[in-house]
Chains A and B, each alone.
Chain A
């Protein structure tokens, strides 16, 4: 590494100079801004503002329905959360909704990652006629508001007998234009062309090259795509609400039922909202870092 440098830094002084240089390069904000407490104060306000509604939801959910008609607000949780949770489970098929959300989000995430990696590999690394225009087409479809085809899509599902079934929610989400675009962008720079040429020279079939060369290289981007697809389908409401019945809801649909059944009792409704949010908060604690870098990488490439 140092051989190419004309003056290899060996003494401690030069070493410290190098760390300084490195810090400047990696440091954001070219003006070398050192944030004062105003910046920290504002950021604290933003982050607290983002957490407060969730805290509030738990707070109200831990009291009973009388809490909101009181004149002063509670600032500490009450002891009613578990009792409320039990009522929520009695009112709507909450466990079923949770299972359904897990099934839908996991299946679609796995499928999107697989098919997008496959297509991204083809677009990024394989030569075939029409690949340019086809990729442009894929990107263009991202701007199409496909949600507006909801009436015929419902008819298709009804004709297939899928209304009320999870398949009606899963199948349309099996692969996305965003996923294909995302993996194409990533794989373009992640795999050296020589590696694929070498694999083909060695007599590897296309699919084996994909399996042995592409899949391992795709892992970081695939993990991020998995997360985004998971969150997208976990939070999705419009289509599941239309096509799934009250017997077989996903979590957001179950929350809507809860609201319709208990509109006066906000403590119950917000207990439900809290319960439906907790799984993704746990996911966020472990994978939030990945989401952050995923958004930032996607932004630069887009």
Chain B
């Protein structure tokens, strides 16, 4: 009896000590295999001649990088990616904040409006791309027909660079604006109500309140949303891939993005070495832009943050007296 009891208490000590590691291990094991290892190994592949079928070839050092950077297609893809990213993130954040502001009031049927705004989120980007490519079809598309009836010449939504970027950005915005609006709405509701009352006493109108109270208090959320869309937006693939039936980003690469370029190199031309080089470069780009975005948004936040701390201090003083 005694040794058995001893054994059991030892087992339970073990249980208490090591079980937590067991519980968190699935994430770490999986991340190591399908996340970390592939990312690191990409650098190794990028340093070799590497064919999709034939496999590993000679070590070539930085040759793949040099080759990729020497291609016109690479720079076009870089331009397109950045352009589509800016055209989608900028308007989207602004629109989402405005929609959130409208939702942040005594609405009748609150849940209905919130759900209505979120609806596009459940539509797969592939379906969105198919529907929008019909809208923006150059010959029979709805957009050009509407433009025609109001006397504007047809726009080359697929043949021209900027229009095609606008079309693709509109797909991204369609799907994500409502989602981000709900994030902003939640952040707005967390703004202390006293701040508004204080601003009202100070004689600030609704617009003024929105600009000097609501927006500054949203800065952390704006940073969050911008960083998230940086990581996703720079890897954009689905929408441009399905904008036409060939999936190569336009006849002259008008809307070929970095990820489409990566796919082209890897799976159409079977050159895994070059594809990996693009992946590494895109990774560096994402990190760089992430850092830039973070510093810019934080600097603005700090500038505005001072104002809001003064307000809070004033508020505290008011409460004390």
Pairwise interchain contact B20-A151, C-beta atoms closer than 8 A: no
> How many contacting A-B pairs (Cβ < 8 A)?
309
The listed residue (B174, B192, B286) touching A145 by CB distance below 8 A is B286
Closest CB in chain A relative to B74 CB, distance in Å: 15
Stretch at the interface among B160-168, B272-280, B297-305: B272-280
Q: Is A255 an interface residue (CB 8 A)?
A: yes
Pairwise interchain contact B119-A51, C-beta atoms closer than 8 A: yes
Q: Which of B91-148 contact A (CB under 8 A)?
A: 99, 102-107, 111, 113-128, 130-132, 134-135, 137, 140, 142, 145
Q: Is B266 an interface residue (CB 8 A)?
A: yes
Pairwise interchain contact B279-A283, C-beta atoms closer than 8 A: no
The listed residue (B23, B124, B182) touching A235 by CB distance below 8 A is B124
Chain A positions within 8 Å of B191 at CB level: 30
Pairwise interchain contact B116-A119, C-beta atoms closer than 8 A: no
Pairwise interchain contact B235-A56, C-beta atoms closer than 8 A: no
The listed residue (B140, B183, B195) touching A296 by CB distance below 8 A is B183
Q: Which of A124-156 contact B (CB under 8 A)?
A: 126-128, 131, 134, 138, 141, 143-156
Chain B positions within 8 Å of A251 at CB level: 124
Chain A positions within 8 Å of B28 at CB level: 134
A261-275: CB near B (< 8 Å → 1, else 0) gives 001001001101110
Report whether over half of chain A's contact residues are helix, strand or loop; otherwise say mixed: helix
Bound complex: CA A274 to CA B196 (Å): 45
The listed residue (B132, B188, B241) touching A28 by CB distance below 8 A is B188
The listed residue (B38, B182, B192) touching A153 by CB distance below 8 A is B38
Chain A positions within 8 Å of B116 at CB level: 43, 46-47, 50-51
Closest CB in chain A relative to B238 CB, distance in Å: 5
The listed residue (B37, B128, B241) touching A152 by CB distance below 8 A is B37
Q: Is B34 an interface residue (CB 8 A)?
A: yes
Q: Is B252 an interface residue (CB 8 A)?
A: no
Closest CB in chain A relative to B69 CB, distance in Å: 17
Closest CB in chain A relative to B236 CB, distance in Å: 10
The listed residue (A154, A172, A238) touching B237 by CB distance below 8 A is A238
Bound complex: CA A60 to CA B127 (Å): 13
Pairwise interchain contact B105-A34, C-beta atoms closer than 8 A: yes
Nearest residue (CB) in A for B262 is A150
A30-53: CB near B (< 8 Å → 1, else 0) gives 111111000110110011001101
Known contacts A31-B200, A151-B38; is-contact A295 B190 (Cβ 8 Å): no
Q: Is A260 an interface residue (CB 8 A)?
A: yes
- Cross-chain pairs A/B with CB under 8 angstroms, 25 sampled: A28-B185, A30-B191, A47-B116, A50-B120, A51-B116, A54-B123, A116-B27, A141-B31, A143-B290, A148-B282, A151-B42, A151-B276, A152-B42, A156-B37, A177-B31, A235-B124, A259-B130, A266-B137, A274-B127, A277-B124, A280-B124, A291-B118, A292-B111, A296-B183, A299-B186
Interface residues of B (CB under 8 A from A): 12, 15-17, 19-21, 23-24, 26-28, 30-31, 33-35, 37-39, 41-42, 45, 99, 102-107, 111, 113-128, 130-132, 134-135, 137, 140, 142, 145, 174, 178-179, 182-197, 200, 206, 209, 221, 224, 227, 231, 234-235, 237-238, 241-242, 244-245, 247, 259, 262-263, 266-267, 272, 275-276, 279-280, 282-283, 286, 290
